[in-house]
Amino acid sequence: MAVPKRKMSRSNTRHRRSQWKAQVPTLVVCANPACREKHLPHTACPSCGQYGPKGGRRQVVEAQA
């Protein structure tokens, strides 16, 4: 296991830890004109199930068991 040779100062430690901030996820508007809800990019819309602008050919349907 790696062991540091010198003690890291408080300012250097805090400067490094300042980059740990959480970020708000980027959301996109659903391409379905009737839906228009926000969802994560590159995922199907949770409300209508459409993935992308080509609605008829790319609708996500849940598999029935």
* Residue pLDDT, tens place only, 15-43: 999 888 888 889 999 988 899 999 999 99
Question: pTM above 0.95?
Answer: no
Nearest in space to 52 (alpha carbons), one of 33, 36, 30, 35 = 30
**C-alpha distance from residue 37 to each of 15, 19, 41, 53 (Å):** 38, 31, 12, 14
Model confidence at 57, pLDDT cuts 50, 70, 90, reads: low
